[in-house]
Structure 1
Amino acid sequence: MALPPRVYFTLHEAAARWDCTLADIAGWASVGLFDIVTAIAPVTSGSQIVAGYVVVSVTDILQMFRRCGTGPTKCFLRRVRLKNHEDWIMIADPAERIEVTLADLLIMAEEVRRFETECDLLRRPASHIGSTARYDWDGMYISLIRRVHEYGIPETQAEWVGEVQEWFVEKSESGEVPDERTIRRRLTPIWKALRETC
């Protein structure tokens, strides 16, 4: 018996699936190409009780999506909207404020599939088994793990990006290597996670 389809994707999963940045996703959501949602416990707004999946106003928390990576890791929502409704519900009581992190923000699966269809995106395979990847990302990740295990984290992210570029140059049979922006996009979440633990 097959499992039912996925219900939602996290923003990190969508970014990996579409090979884009979180800032790109926030930008597309901010102009209405799809909704970003989160799940909340019951809160009151006047006499109304709001709970479950609610739409987030991305422009209210846009600072979380700075391309330079200096934005806050969490924000408070001051308003939300029920799915398939147009009116925003204000959260006026400070005690009812809704705190969210990037990990709490989701895109519903039907919206992901609709967006992919409208933009004619090729869905990225879950595995490279039976297919030929353009670049050896798996090999690159293995080299990163070895590097961190043996020598620790580089002093700067720029140094790390340079090392990865050199690795691709050495391993590439065709001479084709990913551009610096693509490498940086893949390294940034790892870099941030490792620096937080230092």
Structure 2
Amino acid sequence: MFFSLYEVSFRWDCSLADIAGWASQGKLTIMTGISLVRCGDAMVAGPVTLSPMDLLPLFRRSGPGPSESAMQRIMPPEASDWLIITDPPDGVPVAVADMLIRADEVFGFEDEHDLVRKATAGANGKQPYDWAGMNIALIKRIHDQGLPTTQAELIAEMQDWFAEQTDGARIPDSRSIRRRITPIWRELRSNTT
């Protein structure tokens, strides 16, 4: 039913800042689930839409930004106006990892902007690299051995994985792997510090 922002970023080969920008222009709706809050006289809990302009500071292009922020404007389902959270008075902390986009919106955006074809372009309509396989290898590596000391080590291991899978014939450059690993690396490192 939903994709995380990280999944959409990977799926579309774009930055989280791109997704936030599209949301700020009304092209995508970023949601999350919250526990009970008060908005004036109303009580709200469950799925809510987050204000894209409130989210923009989380998605800086010039360097890493915070991984969570307090949201103070929300919109419950079926509502047409933003509600201001009055209790708790500082709003609700929301992590980037907890932000979602409905699957039907993702598919509709892909159709409208021809993103599916771009993502699968290559010889015979296939991707030149097995990114899904790399994700599985990455998850298995982290599950079995934890994170290495540096992101560069993890990138090198994934390049080795590609080399093993293709007998050295198709190995993406480190920059391409880094783009896919960096959001995962940052999120996992932020949870260990």
In the TM superposition, what are the counterparts of 1:4-153 in structure 2 within 5 Å?
7-67=1-61, 70-95=64-89, 97-122=91-116, 132-137=126-131, 138=133, 142=137, 145=141, 153=148
- Given the two structures, how large is their TM-score scaled by the length of structure 2? 0.71
Distance change (3 Å), C-alpha of 1:167 and 1:118 = same
Q: Higher Cα Rg: structure 1 or 2?
A: 1
Give TM-score, length-normalised by structure 1. 0.69
- CA–CA distance in 2 between the matches of 1:196 and 1:50? 28
Inter-partner Cα distance in structure 1 for 2:61 and 2:160: 25
Q: Is the 8 A contact 1:54 1:80 kept in 2?
A: yes
Comparing 175-184 with 58-67, greater Cα deviation is found at 175-184
Distance 2:135 2:97 in 1: 25
1:4 alignment counterpart: none
In structure 2, the residue corresponding to 1:117 is in which secondary structure? helix
1:3 maps to which residue? none
Q: Which amino acid in the other structure matches residue 148 of structure 2?
A: I
Letter in 2 for 1:103: A
Paired-residue identity, %: 43
Q: Separation in 1 of the partners of 2:76 and 2:136?
A: 40
Could you tell me whether the CA contact under 8 Å between 1:78 and 1:97 is conserved in 2?
yes
Q: Deviations over 1:26-78 (max 9, x none)?
A: 11111111110112233222222223321101221322222455322221111
8 Å Cα contact 2:40/2:84 also seen in 1: no
Point out where structure 1 has 5 or more consecutive residues left out of the alignment: 1-6, 126-130
On the 8 A contact 1:9/1:107 being kept in 2, the answer is yes
For structure 2, the 5+ residue unaligned runs are none
* Deviation string, structure 1 residues 80-101 (Cα, Å, up to 9, x no partner): 1234543211113444722211
- Alpha-carbon distance, 1:79 to partner: 0.9
Q: Are the equivalent residues in 1 in contact too, given 2:70–2:90 (CA < 8 A)?
A: no
Q: Does the 8 A contact of 2:134 with 2:158 survive in 1?
A: no
- The Cα of 1:157 is off from its aligned counterpart by 4.0
